A = this chain, B = another copy of it.
């Protein structure tokens, strides 16, 4: 990280400025000329690092995946330190997630994956594949979490745990859409807390 070549630094600067613009305005609305101006390079320089806008999208998604994984690792790791019980750890983790989203200034900045999902006809197979890998990563992560819980507390309803794992991502994505549509940044964290309530009811051995 500390030792970057000049090329790597320029590439990182392009990604940084591009990410800010994309999260603020969407991928389509962010022009290459604009990125070029913000990153203080020329158009030639941009196309030297990325062969087209698809390549930029793919790089943004893949960087997003790694950053997000680190955040989730930290979140769930801290939650597990706070309780030996897998259900309690999950409930703490979901609360942390809701707080994380709520504390983001101006609400969750929006998810690049979803942005790509809604414009996937514009993107090529590479971008779509990167997108699928991101969602699959979430599924496996939360599937493992729910497996641990289900080993101790059998779920109250005949639930497919893969579907339940997808629900975490789905609630966040849907919450972002709702928050944007309603211009109310709190909606996303509220939805995560409802998911937490569901997980609690689903796995709790006895109500209250």
Contact = CB atoms under 8 A, between A and B. Distances in A.
A202 B207 contact: no
A69 to B, nearest CB: 16
A202 B114 CA distance: 29
Interface stretch (A9-17, A23-31, A52-60, A77-85): A23-31
Contact of A174 (B116, B120, B170, B181): B170
Interface stretch (A41-49, A101-109, A193-201): A193-201
A131 to B, nearest CB: 5
A116 B177 CA distance: 9
A187 interface: yes
B191 A28 contact: no
A123 to B, nearest CB: 10
Interface stretch (A32-40, A88-96, A152-160): A152-160
Interface residues of A, number: 55
B118 A110 contact: yes
B29 A177 contact: no
23 contacts: A25-B122, A26-B119, A26-B121, A26-B122, A110-B118, A117-B181, A118-B119, A132-B181, A132-B182, A134-B181, A135-B181, A136-B182, A156-B207, A163-B187, A163-B194, A166-B178, A166-B190, A170-B171, A170-B175, A170-B178, A170-B187, A177-B177, A197-B198
